């Protein structure tokens, strides 16, 4: 087996990390817009520090981001030059429904995305569209409490139905909710949730998760009704857990931690709550309200394919306090001494990608799609903006070889691969621009200075070659580089 000739090579961005144009074209604030750069960012993301508007003394990188709002035609031209078959992007909920609960959508926002899809079509690039990528309008947080409130199911499905109908014939690949399991780790990011003193935080998170799962199933149902050609996927923040030792209790801990994320995808892919999740909720006394008809909604509309992000594996132990912890990633992990680390402490494990692919495919027997994978690194450009980023090429080469092995040796059914941050953008975890992922350098620093000019890195030409050869030539020698 080799990669299918129609394998979807491309790259990925998110509206809140690339678009900018906040408060332009009728758009209003969302939760990610108010995440500041700096030490308070994590507190806001966790729902521990309430920040529902821009405040003096903070820099908000999403406000302008890399200004794709005004530069998308230039960026799509660069993607086309690389040979993209697919471009994963997200819609801004608050650009289409500025308050989230509006009776009618914002036409200017709808027209903006329609123009993007038409530009992609002109270049024969298939859009893969995430309906909600860490994006909750601030009004829904202030008025309803975010996804803890069941009314968000109604608002989300209205939003989903609007875009599914509007873009019929322009988009056929959809994702309902990005990295849905992040809700358990960063509730404000994943669900617009801010905790009040005395609240049962675990119960609130799982109640919000139930609301998102029902909303996702309803969106999937609508997508299939609107256009039978629509394909709908779910999205997991992936990466398998390794037991730190061969002690049985460490292995059990790895199983439990994998299940923490698989719970969401089990429901979305199989249409019902897994027994282990129901036992956990009962054992921990978490009273999750499920309305009459919810089980039927979940059962009626499982997703068509499963997507996930993969940056690193994670290592856990039943006695994790005894070991050195890795840094950077929002998922707690013991530092794996068998693996190198990035400048931000994320551990590099290409074989872990193959392992994750096999685990997911064995579990769901549905087509898979890697929709995020990349290396965040400090790039030093020359006077022309060119970056000799061999380190990024090395990272991606090894991960591409790993997923090729999963397909060619293990028989995993893989639809495509979109690298994260195909163009430099605002890093979600830190708000930094200096943590760069792209094939395209953007002249912007962590304080918002720079011309925003785009320039091609060495990896641009390498990925162009990879796509052209359908992954057969992964060498970075003798590239046709234009400086």
Identify which of 313, 306, 308, 463 has the alpha carbon closest to the alpha carbon of residue 371. Answer: 308
Question: In this predicted model, what pLDDT tens digit does every residue of 349-391 receive, in sequence order?
Answer: 999 999 999 999 999 999 999 999 999 999 999 999 999 999 9
Q: What is the DSSP string of 99-162?
A: SSS-SS--HHHHHHHHHHHHHHHHTT-EEEEEEESS--BHHHHHHH-GGGSTHHHHHHHHHHHH
The pLDDT mean for the chain works out to 96
Going by pLDDT thresholds of 50, 70 and 90, the confidence category of residue 323 is confident
CB atoms within 10 A of CB 357: 25
Angle at 192 between CA 186 and CA 198, to 5 degrees: 75
Instruction: Give the Cα separation of 403 and 123 in Å (integer).
Output: 27
Domain coordinates in residue numbering, the chain: 8-469
- Could you report the per-residue pLDDT of 123-138, keeping only the tens digit for each? 999 999 999 999 999 9
Query: Which percentage of the chain shows pLDDT scores above 90?
Result: 93
State the DSSP string of 446-460: TTS-S---EEE-HHH
Q: What is the mean pLDDT of residues 140-153?
A: 98
Can you read off the two tokens belonging to residue 247?
A: 């002690």
Q: Does domain 8-469 have CATH number 3.20.20.140?
A: no
Task: Say which residue, 38 or 329, is predicted with more confidence.
Answer: 38
Position 54 pLDDT exceeds 70 = yes
Q: What angle do CA 65, 85, 385 make, to 5 degrees?
A: 45
% residues pLDDT > 70 (the chain): 99
pLDDT above 90 (res 438): yes
- Structure tokens, 242: 């390794």
Least confident of 38-42, 164-168, 210-214: 38-42
Chain Cα centroid distance, residue 305: 15
* Whether pLDDT at 48 is above 90: no
Q: What share of the chain is helix, strand, coil (3-state, %, to 5)?
A: 40, 15, 45
CA–CA gap between residue 47 and residue 205 (Å, rounded): 11
Residue 328 has pLDDT above 70, yes or no: no
Q: How many angstroms separate the CA atoms of 206 and 208, rounded?
A: 5
Compute and round to an integer the Cα radius of gyration of the chain. 21
* Mean pLDDT value across residues 8-24: 98
100-115: per-residue pLDDT in tens?
Answer: 999 999 999 999 999 9
Residue 320 has pLDDT above 80, yes or no: no
This prediction has a pTM of 0.97
Confidence band of 46 (pLDDT split at 50, 70, 90): confident
pLDDT at 86 over 80: yes
Range with the poorest average pLDDT among 37-46, 55-64, 214-223: 37-46
Q: Give the model's pLDDT for residue 411.
A: 97
For every residue of 61-76, DSSP letters joined together read: GGGTTT-HHHHHHHHH
Q: Kindly state the tokens that stand for 273.
A: 């709550």
Asked whether the beta carbons of 218 and 301 are under 8 A apart, the reply is yes
Catalytic pick among 202, 284, 372, 472: 372
Helix H, strand E, coil C: the string for 396-415 is: HHHHHHHHHHHHHCCCCCEE
Q: What is the mean pLDDT of residues 297-317?
A: 97
Neighbours of 201 (CB within 10 A): 13
Closest CA to 79 of 20, 111, 122, 110: 122
Could you tell me whether strands 454-456 and 440-442 are parallel, antiparallel, or unpaired per DSSP bridges? Answer: antiparallel
Mean pLDDT value of segment 10-33: 98
- d(CA 403, CA 409) in angstroms, rounded, equals 10
- What pLDDT score was predicted for residue 329? 67
Instruction: Tell me what the mean pLDDT of segment 44-56 comes to.
Output: 92
Burial class (CB in 10 A: 0-12, 13-18, 19+), 221: middle
Decide if 19 is catalytic: no
Judged by DSSP in three states, 347 sits in strand
Contact criterion met (CB below 8 Å) for 11 and 88: yes
Q: What is the mean pLDDT of residues 307-326?
A: 89
* pLDDT for 330: 77
């Amino acid at each position: 087996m080799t990669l299918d000739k129609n394998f979807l090579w491309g790259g990925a961005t998110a509206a809140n990390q690339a678009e900018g144009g906040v408060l332009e074209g009728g758009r209003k604030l969302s939760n990610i817009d108010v995440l500041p750069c700096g030490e308070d960012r994590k507190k806001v993301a966790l729902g521990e520090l309430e920040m529902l508007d821009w405040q003096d003394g903070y820099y908000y990188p999403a406000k302008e981001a890399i200004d794709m709002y005004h530069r998308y035609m230039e960026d799509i031209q660069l993607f086309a030059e690389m040979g993209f078959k697919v471009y994963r992007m997200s819609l801004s909920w608050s650009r289409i429904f500025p308050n989230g609960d509006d009776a009618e959508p914002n036409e200017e926002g709808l027209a903006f995305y329609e123009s993007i899809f038409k530009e992609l079509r002109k270049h024969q690039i298939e859009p893969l569209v995430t309906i909600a990528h860490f994006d909750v309008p601030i009004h829904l947080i202030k008025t309803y409490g975010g996804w803890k409130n069941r009314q968000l199911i109604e608002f989300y499905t209205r939003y989903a139905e609007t875009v599914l109908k509007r873009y019929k014939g322009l988009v056929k690949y959809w994702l309902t909710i990005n990295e849905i399991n992040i809700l358990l780790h960063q509730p404000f990011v994943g669900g617009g949730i801010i905790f009040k003193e005395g609240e049962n935080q675990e119960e609130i998170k799982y109640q919000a998760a139930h609301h998102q799962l029902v909303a996702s199933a309803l969106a999937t149902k609508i997508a299939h009704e609107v256009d039978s050609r629509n394909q709908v996927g779910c999205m997991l923040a992936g990466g398998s857990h390794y037991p730190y030792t061969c002690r049985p209790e460490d292995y059990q801990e790895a199983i439990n931690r994998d299940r923490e994320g698989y719970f969401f995808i089990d429901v979305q892919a199989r249409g019902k709550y897994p027994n282990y999740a129901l036992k956990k909720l009962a054992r921990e006394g978490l009273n999750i309200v499920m309305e009459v008809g919810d089980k039927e909604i979940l059962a009626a509309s499982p997703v068509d394919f499963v997507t996930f992000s993969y940056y690193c594996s994670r290592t856990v132990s039943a006695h994790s306090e005894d070991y050195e912890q890795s840094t950077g990633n929002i998922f707690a992990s013991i530092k794996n001494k068998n693996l190198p680390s990035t400048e931000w402490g994320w551990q590099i494990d290409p074989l872990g990608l193959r392992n994750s692919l096999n685990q997911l495919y064995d579990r769901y027997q549905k087509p898979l799609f890697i929709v995020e994978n990349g290396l965040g690194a400090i790039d030093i450009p020359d006077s022309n903006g060119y970056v000799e980023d061999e380190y990024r090429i090395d990272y991606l080469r090894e991960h591409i070889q790993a997923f090729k092995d999963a397909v060619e040796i293990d028989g995993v059914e893989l639809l495509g691969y979109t690298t994260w941050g195909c163009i430099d953008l605002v890093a979600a975890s830190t708000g930094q621009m200096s943590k760069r992922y792209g094939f395209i350098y953007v002249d912007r620093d962590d304080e918002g200075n720079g011309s925003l000019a785009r320039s091609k890195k060495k990896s641009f030409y390498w990925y162009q070659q990879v796509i052209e050869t359908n992954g057969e030539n992964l060498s970075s020698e003798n590239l046709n580089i234009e400086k």
